[in-house]
């Protein structure tokens, strides 16, 4: 489990791109949170928390201090991430090569 403490200023945004599950806990101030795939936004005040299920954007409503807690990825998820990274690397290398016949000059 990883816990990260973050300070946000008024209107400062924090973008959480990871799809890993986690929890946001507001220690001071207030934040506005919108999450991908969720129809409603959430306002969290000091002491409030929200379970994350996907990518999210958090905005400070004034000076705010929050904690982001994430669970470690499962071995299957880590392996899937590694495979995705390898596929991307292979696609990048293949794109650099001209495979197939070349035009005559």
**pLDDT digit string, tens, across residues 13-66:** 999 886 667 899 999 999 999 998 888 999 999 999 999 888 899 999 999 999
User: 3-state class of 93 per DSSP?
Assistant: helix
Residue 10's CB: how many other CB atoms inside 10 A?
A: 11
What are the φ and ψ backbone dihedral angles of 20, each rounded to 5 degrees?
A: -70, 145
pTM of the model as a whole = 0.65
């Amino acid at each position: 489990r990883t816990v990260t403490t973050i300070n946000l200023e008024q209107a400062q945004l924090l973008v959480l791109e990871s799809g890993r599950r986690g929890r946001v806990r507001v220690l001071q101030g207030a934040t506005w949170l919108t999450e991908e795939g969720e129809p409603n936004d959430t306002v969290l005040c000091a002491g409030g928390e929200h379970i994350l299920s996907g990518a999210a954007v958090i905005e400070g409503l004034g000076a705010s201090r929050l904690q982001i807690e994430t669970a470690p990825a499962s071995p299957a998820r880590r392996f899937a991430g590694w495979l995705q990274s390898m596929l991307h690397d292979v696609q990048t290398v293949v794109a650099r090569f001209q495979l197939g016949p070349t035009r005559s000059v």
